[in-house]
Structure 1
Amino acid sequence: MAPYESDESTTVRRRKAGRYVVPVAVVGVAAGTIGLVPALADSGSPDLPKITAQQLIQKIAESDVERLSGTVKITTDLGLPDLGGLEGALGGAAATAPGGDGDGSAADPSAKLTELVTGTHTLRVAADGPDRQKLSVLENAAEYSLIHNGKDVWGYDSASNEVFHGTADEAGERAGEPPATPKDFAEQALKAVDDTTSVTVDGTAQVAGRDAYKLVIEPKQSGSTVGAITIAVDAKTWMPLKFTLTPASGGAAVVDAGFTQLSYARPAASTFDFTPPKGAKVTEESEEGEAGRQPIAPTDEADLAKGLEKGFGEAFGQDSEGMKVIGEGWNSVAVFDTGGPGVPSGDEVGGDLGGFLDSLGDQVKGDFGSGTVFKTRLINALITDDGKIYAGAVTQEALVKAADAGQ
């Protein structure tokens, strides 16, 4: 990766490029909200003893499962338009943004794992205590693996035969070390539980052959895009087994992630061994640099604000100071002032990328002025013409209201 260029012309160029990659940042925020997800269970309704929501939450907190292996299926439907032939256009824009010079490793987890933002993916996971985890994303004719073994963190992309290597302190903090078990996802989701939230136990189910309780989390407030979150919890180990987030707008789940196979037996030690294949290109963490490398992975309202701040700040090539949050609970909206112009229209950009911008954005007006709302089925973002950003898991109307209140 080339050294960071600090001259004024480079800063202007990067900020201009950032204007065109805003939709990519929105997608990144939506991807990060997978950390908020939980879910519906499989099939069957086993007869289990009654338990209260508070008791079940306590059981989840006390669960001490550290060893497991299994297969997880994740389906994500954010309602994004088909990118079609835009991959090159968006990739080019991202490559010109800070930290996106095109020289990064194809095995870097902070970039590779964002592919989980759309479609259906099959993952193999394994864990043996806090120092050994492995996650593999299975593709048609290739596989991507992220291995944490002691101090080492390895990422390997078989399609490109590239390897990323860092330490647990560096790469783990930088890449967020994707959760090794569904328990991690559930803990993140439960951080959003407060007085604005309804939490209940809604029957039982079976997941990957395990009896489970269903814990349902729902916003009490109107205006949130989140309809319900359901966590299927193992009735013996109290480990979350499956997660589903249903949008307030109805229809298919935004995210459905859960085990299809599961074993609590200790994985073989060799599971976490990794040696770069012969001829593989190996990129060290220190060679990648820090600018623009960290993904957005918000876990609750406060972390959502931090994630939005970092993601949009980097997209615009600016320091992200002056961040604030409007509202509370599930209606929290992160506000960030880029200090620059808003998003160009599709006509200004032209070509396929311009059409993509128009397909994502709706022009809106209010007391705040005018701007563009970029929407997914979960995260919406209003970018005003004077460069302010209002974003959160709220409706378009709620964003406009927040922008009007922010004046």
Structure 2
Amino acid sequence: VAAALDSYEMQKTKVKRVGDDAILPLLGSRSINQMVVAQVFRHTSNPLLPGPPASPPHFLKGWFSSLTLPNPRQVSSSLSPFWSHYPLNSSSRSLQPLNSFFWIKAKVTLTCRFQKNHWQKIRTMVNLPVISPFKKRYAWVQLAGHTGSFKAAGTSGLILKRCSEPERYCLARLMADALRGCVPAFHGVVERDGESYLQLQDLLDGFDGPCVLDCKMGVRTYLEEELTKARERPKLRKDMYKKMLAVDPEAPTEEEHAQRAVTKPRYMQWREGISSSTTLGFRIEGIKKADGSCSTDFKTTRSREQVLRVFEEFVQGDEEVLRRYLNRLQQIRDTLEVSEFFRRHEVIGSSLLFVHDHCHRAGVWLIDFGKTTPLPDGQILDHRRPWEEGNREDGYLLGLDNLIGILASLAER
């Protein structure tokens, strides 16, 4: 913190040292983060603010006047919503934790300049936010997965994912397999708020404004056991009928329309059939662009040409990014073909995560192993043979072959 302030932020924000005390850092190398400023001043251990004010205190407004901002008055008034949105804990006046920030305890001296051009020192204990774009980064992941599965780790370069035993089992074994470099690094299990989390490498770390694409691999995204159980205990699902209806009003049969419900096996197989999963061995689940916009409207993206157009839009003509994606996919395929783990596991519901940025950095990783299951002793999979119920083939390499072919075609255009 001190080094960052000495090198940049002290001069930019006109915050100065007072004796040997620490100083208030406004972290962020490009601009003042208004939300963080409001939280720092709002959430203090000492009762600087007796109650939830309707607007920022006068010293905050004065302090803003010393910054190089387009309109200090407008910026100050724009902070008002944050004051009511993050109320103090009335008993302890401590900061309520937020998933989108990491928090550390530090003694600081707040030095604020007033309109009259003099300085006032306020010594207190505050929770300093170390800005993390966790919430912004991972919103798209939750669109493609289970809401609330991810959490900030509190350590740079790491992320927490809610633990499931099948995924923990797979990640532990992958760390000793040839595929180690193709998956997020696994750093064990930690406890947070009474729940267990997998501590994983943050794959977006090191990218500047990353663009992200989630590609679900395989000809099916359900286990054979799921299909068997659903048939043994058939249950009509109104929610799945509504999902089917939203995509294609003509998809349900007359009987299903009359019942206004479908069974899970019927829905699962219909879902794979309308996408490219059945035909190409993969499907696009979601995309997040650098501007933060997300799209998951790929349910009926089925043909090679449709998929090619999606990737063409995703890479935005960046030939270097496309080349790196192709090289990485070929490397992953070579590694899969010699991986002992891959030969002996049915890989269902796993994705390839594509990430790139405007600096031409690009990477692809295998993620999501919650439905990856070991095969009986002595059985291995080809991962290219057509799936027939009972053979447990997943079509992973079939999908990867098609994906590489599509990106190679795009590179030739």
Q: TM-score, normalised by structure 1?
A: 0.24
Q: Which of the pair is proportionally richer in helix?
A: 2
Name the structure with the higher strand share.
Answer: 1
Give the greater-gyration-radius structure (CA).
Answer: 2
